[in-house]
Amino acid sequence: MTKTGDAVIPKKAMTIILLRDQYPAGFEVFLLKRHNQSIFMGGNYVYPGGKVDEEDATEEILARSQGISSRQAQEILGENDAKIAIAYWIAGIRELFEEAGILLAYNKEKRLLSIDSEDAKQRLAFHRLSLQKGEKSFLQIIIEEDLTLAIDQCFYYAHWITPEARNVRFDTRFFVARTISGQEASPDAKETTEGVWLTPSAALQKNFEGTVALSPPTLKTLEDLSRFSSIHDLLSSLPERKKPAILPILLNPLADETLIFPWDPEYEDLRSGTLQQSKDHGLPSSPLQNTTRVVLTDGRWLPYVKTVL
């Protein structure tokens, strides 16, 4: 485990918020329940994602990618290394396939990959299982199927960093992408045990009721997503959307955990130690408000808005 000072250095990771239209209006997101025994967010519902690997930045996989150059990726993310920047997109597509069974790729006719036969469905499922078992690399699968990764279908959305008090930490880039017609999302039955499509508002309500436990970044991004009426409106907002790194503060890491977001009015004072934490978390927040902190209660994170008079 790598540390700097007293804090663990976060590993580079990414996650994809998979979207589909919900008719007659609105949209749904795909959430996966992490295995209860997972050391990170066990039992929580999250988006598909994982760590960025070395194989995600090879020249071979870059040659099989389309839509965004390494230099463009570097500018979008503000990364120092262009190859590492584009690797976030490639890792996202790889993890989306491995964890959710959706492969964002173009076929040799330059059309998005649609599974239009039982044979194609079984072949894709076989490739997914081979990848999970380590029998094939993602690149091997792409070459065998003569595909090109559709990195231009993944749009940068947010940047979250696990609090410094955690022993397992990730520096995670969030992307949004539409699901592909003809492909069906499903859990991997390994790291994830269930998969559900829910509107952002429904997911937030189920978290409040205790039937779907959301991780803090998932909860907050769903709150943001609930304000959009369509996928088109969401995607149209992204060029102007600010995407600063979000590093929450974790209080009481062993009991009564509380996460303080950077826009909370007490964040800077709590971070510097000039303010003592208290039991006053403000008022429970609704999706129409901007949650400033979340408190772990009965196994789920509940949102609050803290104001300073």
Residues 87 and 225 in one domain: yes
What SS3 state is found at 29?
A: strand
Local confidence band at 24 (pLDDT 50, 70, 90 cut-offs): confident
Query: How many residues make up the chain in this entry?
Result: 309
**Domain final residue, candidates 203, 222, 245:** 245
**Domain final residue, candidates 245, 263, 293:** 245
CATH of the domain at 151: 3.90.79.10
Residues 17 and 47 in one domain: yes
d(CA 262, CA 255): 21
The pLDDT, as a whole number, for residue 35 is 72
Residues 277 and 185 in one domain: no
pLDDT exceeds 60 at position 39: no
The pLDDT, as a whole number, for residue 34 is 82
The 10s digit of each residue's pLDDT in 128-138 is 999 999 999 99
Residue carrying the six token digits 């996989």: 61
Residues 44 and 7 in one domain: yes
Residues 215 and 280 in one domain: no
The pLDDT, as a whole number, for residue 37 is 57
Contact indicator for 99, 49 with CB cutoff of 8 Å: yes
Cα–Cα nearest to 112, from 151, 55, 138: 151
Residues 296 and 213 in one domain: no
d(CA 106, CA 109): 8
pLDDT exceeds 80 at position 2: no
Residues 160 and 300 in one domain: no
The pLDDT, as a whole number, for residue 218 is 96
Residue carrying the six token digits 């709590």: 270
The 10s digit of each residue's pLDDT in 260-294 is 999 999 999 999 989 888 888 999 998 888 999 99
The 10s digit of each residue's pLDDT in 85-118 is 999 999 999 999 999 999 999 999 999 998 888 8
Q: What is the mean pLDDT of the chain?
A: 91
Residues 153 and 178 in one domain: yes
Q: Would you tell me how many other CB atoms lie within 10 Å of the CB of residue 218?
A: 26
Half-sphere exposure of residue 296, counting CA atoms within 13 Å on the CB side?
A: 15
Residues 276 and 218 in one domain: no
Structural domain boundaries, residue 290:
248-309
Q: What is the pLDDT averaged over residues 208-237?
A: 95
Buried b (16+ CB within 10 A) or exposed e, 176-206: bbbbbeebebbbbeebbeebbbbbbbbbbeb
Q: What is the pLDDT averaged over residues 198-211?
A: 95
Q: What is the pLDDT averaged over residues 191-206?
A: 93
Please state at what angle helix 118-133 crosses helix 82-100, rounded to 10 degrees: 120
Q: What is the pLDDT averaged over residues 140-164?
A: 96
User: How far, in Å, are 10, 145, 161, 250, 298 from residue 73 at the CA level?
Assistant: 20, 26, 19, 31, 40
pLDDT exceeds 60 at position 182: yes
pLDDT exceeds 80 at position 14: yes
DSSP state of 307: -
d(CA 20, CA 28): 5
Residues 54 and 41 in one domain: yes
Higher pLDDT, 205 or 44: 205
Residues 107 and 179 in one domain: yes
Angle (nearest 5°) at CA 55 between 50 and 61: 110
Residues 239 and 112 in one domain: yes
Please state at what angle helix 82-100 crosses helix 70-77, rounded to 10 degrees: 90
Which of 34-48, 183-197, 225-239 is least confident? 34-48
Cα–Cα nearest to 227, from 285, 284, 173, 289: 289
Give how many domains the chain has, as a whole number.
Answer: 2
pLDDT exceeds 80 at position 223: yes
pLDDT exceeds 50 at position 57: yes
Local confidence band at 181 (pLDDT 50, 70, 90 cut-offs): confident
**Domain final residue, candidates 197, 228, 245:** 245
The pLDDT, as a whole number, for residue 4 is 47
Cα–Cα nearest to 37, from 190, 178, 167, 187: 190
Q: What is the pLDDT averaged over residues 11-35?
A: 93
d(CA 115, CA 146): 14
